[in-house]
Amino acid sequence: MNASEFLIIDRVSKVYRRQRGLFERLQKGSGQDGTKAVSEVSLTIHRGETVGLVGESGCGKSTLARLVSGLMPPTQGRIDFRSAGGPKPRLQMIFQDPYSSLNGRWKIADIIAEPIVVHKLRSGRSAVRARVDELLQQVGLSSSDAERYPQEFSGGQRQRISIARALAGEPEFLILDEPTSALDVSVQAQILNLLRDLQTNLHLTSLFITHNLSVVRIMADRIGVMYLGELVEEAGSEELFSTPRHPYTRLLIDAAPDLDVSDRSLHPIAGELPNPASPPPGCRFNTRCPFAQDICRSAAPPQHRTPTGGMFRCHFDLDLAGTTVKPPLPERRKTA
């Protein structure tokens, strides 16, 4: 057991079942009766580390966040917290939409105080209110804002309030699910700077979920890439961007024009995301991969470990042992 390990996700899957009609039930081999949104994902997060999850919409990253948070149970696999406080650590989430995640009937003071009171982190009204004021100032707001209601604030201010509420529970682990995607670009930068400062000052352990590669590059120590429910690559942040090993990761980076100040043209990944209820056989990326071969369409790719402790799933090794056994991927554009 590694003492630095905080969260172990071990071969976790989630299947969303659906009701089958009488005709389907009578037919043998009529297909799957559910969608495998997450498929045998394994990931370890260490204390004080921020791990990012990226991928296109529908890849399963938000479902994995809900599984880790306990909002829904996994269909199979194990999620193991190694918390100093016992098997159930204090865990908080920051949600994507700052407009629907706050109760419009409550004052800000009551919203932030709730986790303090529930977890009995302070005793007495004056101590609770002092903590609320401290948290508001910590996220760049004023203590006088405690007497106002959520609808009196802008989107960026509401997200600051959501962050204050999350910190009020003194969490050991923080899940951030697209925390800036609903905000304007200028406001996004303010929130990201705030989160980076909090990471540094509070030594937070967190899971950061986003579709924005520019965001995850500056926020995460390590990054996992998900495609159609599977974790297809994992590496340190800088290594992932400098030496992506999975074709999907390489193409995903090239499809993000905001990573290159000299080239603003779009480079979308060809093809459509397959139906997760009926994924293609073999490698799930084979229908969109420009280098797919026969083995990719017939056999699931093995998992390879890299010398730096990373992982990727592909039949072909793009870099290990100094050999290349498939045609090199197109030259990537330089990143800023």
Euclidean distance between CA atoms 79 and 77, whole angstroms: 7
How is residue 66 written in tokens?
């809900």
pLDDT at residue 96, as a whole number: 87
SS3 content of the chain, % helix, strand, coil (to 5): 35, 20, 45
In degrees, rounded to 5, the angle at the alpha carbon of residue 277 between the alpha carbons of residues 272 and 282 is 70
CA nearest 76: which of 8, 15, 6, 7? 15
**Nearest 10 degrees: Cα torsion 74, 76, 80, 86:** 60
Q: Is the separation of the CB atoms in 234 and 224 below 8 Å?
A: yes
How is residue 1 written in tokens?
């057991």
pLDDT at residue 330, as a whole number: 47
Sheet holding 173-177, edge to edge: 91-94, 173-177, 205-209, 50-54, 222-227, 230-236, 311-313, 303-305
What is the enclosing helix (H) or strand (E) of 120?
none
Q: Is 186 helix (H, G, I), strand (E, B) or coil?
A: helix
pTM: 0.86
User: What is the CATH T-level fold of the domain 5-89+172-322, as seen in this structure?
Assistant: Rossmann fold (3.40.50)
| pLDDT values of the chain reduced to their tens digit, one per residue, 336 residues | 566 899 999 999 999 987 666 665 566 554 456 788 999 999 999 999 999 999 998 899 999 999 999 999 999 999 999 876 656 788 999 988 888 889 999 999 999 999 999 999 999 999 999 999 999 999 999 999 999 999 999 999 999 999 999 999 999 999 999 998 888 888 998 999 999 999 889 989 999 999 889 899 999 999 999 999 999 999 999 999 999 999 999 999 988 765 554 454 556 788 888 988 889 999 999 999 988 999 999 999 999 999 899 999 999 876 544 334 444 444 544 444
pLDDT at residue 28, as a whole number: 54
